[in-house]
Amino acid sequence: MIDIVNVKEFSGDLTKAIQYIHGVWGDDSNYNFYQDAIENSSLPDKALPQFYLMLKEDKIIGCSALITNDFISRHDLYPWMACLYVDEEERGHSYARLLIEYAEDQARKAGFSNIYLTTDHAGYYEKYGWQRIEDGIDLFSDQVTRIYTKKL
């Protein structure tokens, strides 16, 4: 059975959730950043940010987030769906779609009419109704990156 939960509702140890998300997206220099962001994240239907875990029989197999900015120059656009990941051995079951839809639903419940993401994956998000709208500048690389949106 697959469940998606806000990290604040995770019945396991919050440290385990932080280690999972950091393990996927972080590096040796930023564990404290992820820890602080996740520990201070919000419950569903509250303020941003929100971090989500995908569970299969209580084992974390994926994650996503809804945040105010995804390290991109366009601070005027939000919320951003970020941190989308499904374990390699669990891919091929449309689990990423479930995480995307969950983040979209949470953004809709919070009253947002659009949701955004930034990615270098051309063609992937279009399958789920997202449209490329323009480019922004990535904080870390200082390079142009694609911005997508979806009406909720």
User: pLDDT tens digit string along 43-83?
Assistant: 877 789 999 999 999 999 999 999 999 999 999 999 999 99
Q: What is the pLDDT of residue 144?
A: 94
Q: What is the pLDDT of residue 134?
A: 95
> How many CA atoms, within 13 angstroms, populate the side-chain half-sphere of residue 38?
30
Going along 68-143, which residue ranges are E strands?
Answer: 80-86, 114-119, 131-137
Predicted confidence (pLDDT) per residue in 82-136, tens digit: 999 999 999 999 999 999 999 999 999 999 999 999 998 889 999 999 999 999 9
Query: Residue 7 carries which side chain, given as an amino acid letter?
Result: V
Q: Please tell me whether the overall predicted TM-score, pTM, comes out greater than 0.75 for this model.
A: yes
Instruction: Give the max Cα distance, the chain.
Output: 41
Q: What is the pLDDT of residue 44?
A: 76
Q: What is the pLDDT of residue 81?
A: 98
DSSP state of 13: -
**How many residues in the chain?**
152
Which residues lie below 8 Å from residue 115, measured CB to CB, with a gap of 6+?
A: 66, 79, 80, 81, 103, 104, 107, 149, 150, 152
Q: Find out whether 18 and 32 touch, Cβ atoms under 8 Å.
A: no
- Which class would CATH give 2-151? alpha beta
Q: Find out whether 103 and 64 touch, Cβ atoms under 8 Å.
A: yes
Q: In the chain, where are the structural domains located?
A: 2-151
Q: Cα–Cα distance between 111 and 40 in angstroms, integer?
A: 21
